[in-house]
Structure 1
Amino acid sequence: MDITFLIAVILTVVVVVFVAKGLMIVQQSEAVVIERLGSYNKTLSPGVNWIIPIIDKPRSIKVRRYRAIRGENVAIVQEETRIDRRETVLDFPGQSVVTADNVSVNVNGALYFQVIDPERAVYQTENLIQAIEILAKTSLRSEMGKMELDKLFESRQEINDKLQVVMDEAGNKWGVKVTRVEIQDIIIPAEVEDAMRKQMAAERERRALVLRASGEREAAIAKAEGEKRSSILVAEGSKEAAILMAEGQRKAIDEVLSAANEQLDPQLMIGYLLGLEYLKTLPEIGKEGDRIFLPFEASSVLGAVGSIESLLNMPKK
């Protein structure tokens, strides 16, 4: 009876140990690939799972990560049996890229990805993180090498979108979904940066000169337009004044002729008016200097004076 009890205890212990060895708890957002006798069997989901000890074994996956050691990012390759299915960021170190205009720049990038199919992530590539990183670097060099330096800074989002498309196509084969790619820093050589700074300063100066010239041109146009309108208004005023003066003189002549009962010669009246204008002009001419020589015909003056005398000596009715 003692032997039977001992055997039962031993069997119970063996069964308990066997069951305990086969129990595997998988955390949320994790997955474990199980191989049975060297071939793929199943993928464990989150929760309590049981596998056959010794026969079933979890397949490890190689993961390459960077750790800061003495101020430098050092790549470390690890083997893990649990595959993290959460979105992961891969901040790969800066690398040298040559642009289309032969300028060497240093670029830092970050890549966000998520393992969708753990089986493919284990069996389709030997080192998942390394494969993603190398593909991202080569794709980055290819896309940025097609652009010139000036366009590189303004096309950052365009480069990100193209990289995401390329990475997503390759990631489907590896069971990985690339959610987005970001270019963090673009570091250019000091001499190129200094040249770009001078170019920007020259461009700003050129724009200032263009704006200043445009302003002066518009001001000149506005001034000329104003002078033109002023001249037109002055001419129109002079014209209207001359018309009004002529109208006034015509009315005055008509009134005088009417008052004289049409006995007054119109030519005599016109001579009289010319004489008055002549006499009004003489003081203005005298202001020009002490001595003034006026070329005139004596007969014209005497005719005008005679006209005035005849007008004044007309018999009153």
Structure 2
Amino acid sequence: MDAMLLISLILTGLILALIIKGLMIVQQSEAVVIERLGSYNKTLSPGVNWVIPFIDKPRAIKVRRYQAIDGQNVPVVLEETRIDRRETVLDFPGQAVITADNVSVTVNGALYFQVIDPERAVYQTENLIQAIEILAKTSLRSEVGKMELDKLFESRQEINDKLQLVMDEAGNKWGVKVTRVEIQDINIPVEVEDAMRKQMAAERERRALVLRASGEREAAIAQAEGEKRSNILVAEGEKEAAILMAEGQRQAIDKVLAAGGERLDPQLVIGYLLGLEYLKTLPDIGKEGDRIFLPYEASSVLGAVGSLESLLRNTPK
């Protein structure tokens, strides 16, 4: 009886030990791939799971971690049985790339990916991190090599989109979703950078000259337009003044003819008015010099003025 009780206790203890040994708690955002006798059995989801001890074993996957060595964070590759399903960043070092115009540049980038199928991530590639990194480097060289240096700085987003398409297509086979790819830095040789700086300075100077010439041209056009309008206004003013003067002379002639009646000759009236205008200009002519030479015709004009005034005085009112 005592032997049976002892055996029962031993069996119970073994069963409890096996149950406890087989319990496996998986954290949120983690997954564990279980192999049974060397072949794939199942993928454990977050929560409490139970596997058969000594028969079911988790399959390890290679991951990259950073460890502090000599005061610096150094990346190291480790094997872990728990697969992190959160988004992970892979910062691959700068790569020497030759552009389409034969300029050697160093490109540094970062890649963000997430394991969506742990089974494929474990079985489809021997080293997932290395496979992703090498594919990212080769794809980066391929895309950058198609572009010239000037376009390279303007097409970062275009390169990022193309790299993401290539990486995502390959990642589907490995159970990985590439969320985005970012080019961080593009380093160029010093002599090329100096040449680009001089080119940019020359381009800015050229734009400044173009803007200055355009401004001067617009100013000249505006000035010419203003002078044109001014000349038009002056001409219109002179035209209106001439019209008013002619109208005034016509009214003066009509007035003189009306005062003289039928005895006045219109030609005599016109001569009279011209004589008055001539007399008005004599003071101005005298200001220009000490001596004044009057033409012979001036005596006839002045005579017409005197004759007409005498005739008007003798006209009965």
Would the TM-score normalized by the shorter structure come out above 0.5?
Answer: yes
Offset, 1:245: 1.0
Residue 308 in structure 1 maps to residue 305 in structure 2: yes
Alignment partners' CA distance in 1, 2:17 and 2:39: 25
SS at match of 2:262: coil
Offset, 1:182: 1.2
Offset, 1:53: 2.1
Alignment partners' CA distance in 2, 1:293 and 1:67: 116
Q: Who is 1:56 aligned against? A: 56
Alignment partners' CA distance in 1, 2:293 and 2:169: 105
User: Deviation per CA, 1:238-288, whole angstroms, max 9, x where unpaired?
Assistant: 111111111111111111111111211111111122222233333333333
Q: Who is 1:126 aligned against? A: 126
Alignment partners' CA distance in 1, 2:252 and 2:37: 135
Q: Which amino acid aligns with 2:117?
A: D
User: Deviation per CA, 1:280-309, whole angstroms, max 9, x where unpaired?
Assistant: 333333333445667x4x2x2332233223
User: Deviation per CA, 1:104-157, whole angstroms, max 9, x where unpaired?
Assistant: 222221111111111111111111111111111111111222222222222212
Q: Who is 1:168 aligned against? A: 168
SS at match of 1:108: strand
Query: Structure 1 residues 217, 202: closer, same or farther in 2, change over 3 A?
Result: same
Alignment partners' CA distance in 1, 2:211 and 2:160: 36
Alignment partners' CA distance in 2, 1:188 and 1:248: 86
Deviates more, 1:200-209 or 1:63-72: 63-72
SS at match of 1:285: helix
1:65-214 superposed matches below 5 A: 65=65, 67=67, 69=69, 74-214=74-214
Deviates more, 1:222-231 or 1:203-212: 203-212
Query: Structure 1 residues 10, 33: closer, same or farther in 2, change over 3 A?
Result: same
Query: Structure 1 residues 86, 123: closer, same or farther in 2, change over 3 A?
Result: same
Q: Is the 8 A contact 1:25 1:46 kept in 2?
A: yes
Query: Structure 1 residues 127, 188: closer, same or farther in 2, change over 3 A?
Result: same
SS at match of 1:260: helix
Deviates more, 1:284-293 or 1:272-281: 284-293
Query: Structure 1 residues 293, 68: closer, same or farther in 2, change over 3 A?
Result: farther
Offset, 1:198: 2.1
Offset, 1:213: 1.7
SS at match of 2:261: coil
Alignment partners' CA distance in 1, 2:148 and 2:292: 81
Query: Structure 1 residues 43, 91: closer, same or farther in 2, change over 3 A?
Result: same
Offset, 1:80: 1.4
Alignment partners' CA distance in 2, 1:192 and 1:69: 37
Q: Which amino acid aligns with 2:164?
A: Q
Offset, 1:75: 4.7
Query: Over aligned residues, Cα RMSD in angstroms?
Result: 2.1
Count of aligned pairs between the two proteins: 314
Alignment partners' CA distance in 2, 1:48 and 1:312: 137
Q: Is the 8 A contact 2:94 2:106 kept in 1?
A: yes
Offset, 1:57: 1.5
Q: Who is 2:225 aligned against? A: 225
Alignment partners' CA distance in 2, 1:187 and 1:33: 42
**Structure 1 unaligned regions, length at least 5:** none
Q: Who is 2:27 aligned against? A: 27
Q: Which amino acid aligns with 1:243?
A: I
